[in-house]
Structure 1
Amino acid sequence: MKQIILWLLLVLPWLSLFFLKMITVRRYIPVALFMTVIHSLAYQAAHHYGWWNEKGSSLFGWDTIIPVPWVYGAYFVIVIWVFHFTFGKFWRYLTVNILLDGGFMYIVYPIWGRLGLVSGNSTLPTITVVAMMVGFSLIIYLFQLWLDGAQSNLDDQN
């Protein structure tokens, strides 16, 4: 059952992108990829420094450090959806991210821990992880602003 849930967490978010216009998906794919890199680095650092351990969310056996279903499935696609609904409205974006990150860490993550989908072993306080996630969201917001500015400059030159 656990493997089925992990596969669904990897595949279903991607299927949800069919409900967006292709231009929207193309616009926000770079920021989602950037967030994937940030999350991958964060999981590497967490493994190295012993902040948390996600062995319970391995889908393939080789993904014990970076959980593929979360980082390359759900997180990736959620970034696109959040940017679709909130980009350009910073306070809405920040509020949505705080609610999603806090809700995930304080409500969803403990439930998944009881179901065995995540290990739940962390040396960091939950609020620290939420603050880290919100910090990442601020970084990627700035990245998207930069991308839009660069695209605008290219459009002006043509």
Structure 2
Amino acid sequence: MKQIFLWLLLILPWASLFLLKMNTIRRYMPVALFMTVIHTLAYQAAYHYGWWKETGSSLFGWDKVIPVPWVYGAYLVIVIWVFHFTYGKFWVYLTVNILLDGLFMYIVYPVWQRMGMVSSESTLPTIAIVAMMVGFALIIYLYQLWQDDVFKQPKA
């Protein structure tokens, strides 16, 4: 059952992109990939420094450090959807991110812990992880502002 859930966590978010226009995906995919790099580095640091362990979310056997279904599936696609609905409205974007990060860490993550999908081993307080996630959200917002400026169509 856990493997089915992990596969769904990887595949269903990608399928949801069929509901968006290709221009939207093209516009926000770079920021989603940038967030994936940041998230991957954060998981590497967490593993190295013992901040937390993701022992129950391995889908392939080689993904013991970074939960592939979450980082390369759901989270990547969630970034695209959040930018689609909130980009250009900074305070809405920030509020949505704080709510989603808090919801994930205080409600979803404990449920996943009880299901054995993630480990409960963590040396960081939950609020520190939420703050880290919000910090990442601010970084990627600035990245998207830069992207928009770099790829702005010249005025004719």
TM-score by length of 1: 0.97
Q: Equivalent residue for 2:154?
A: 156
Q: Equivalent residue for 2:70?
A: 70
**SS class of match (1:156):** coil
Q: Distance in 2 between matches of 1:70 and 1:82?
A: 16
**Mapping of 1:70-109 within 5 angstroms?**
70-109=70-109
Task: Could you tell me which runs of 5 or more consecutive residues in structure 2 were left unpaired when the two chains were aligned.
Answer: none
Displacement after TM superposition at 1:121 (Å): 1.2
Amino acid at match of 2:2: K
Q: After the TM superposition, which parts of structure 1 deviate over 3 Å for at least 4 consecutive aligned residues?
A: none
Q: Does 2:24 match 1:39?
A: no
Q: How far does the alpha carbon of each residue in 1:65-119 deviate from its partner, in whole angstroms, 9 at most, with x for none?
A: 0110010000100000000000000000000000000000000000010011111
Would you tell me which structure has more helix in proportion to its own residues? 1
Q: Distance in 1 between matches of 2:141 and 2:120?
A: 28
* Equivalent pair of 1:109/1:120 in contact (CA under 8 Å): no
Q: CA RMSD in A?
A: 0.9
Q: Distance in 1 between matches of 2:150 and 2:21?
A: 22
Amino acid at match of 2:75: Y
TM-score by length of 2: 0.98
Q: Does 2:141 match 1:146?
A: no
Task: Could you tell me which runs of 5 or more consecutive residues in structure 1 were left unpaired when the two chains were aligned.
Answer: none
Q: Distance in 1 between matches of 2:132 and 2:116?
A: 24
Q: How many residue pairs align between the two structures?
A: 156
Q: Equivalent residue for 1:133?
A: 133
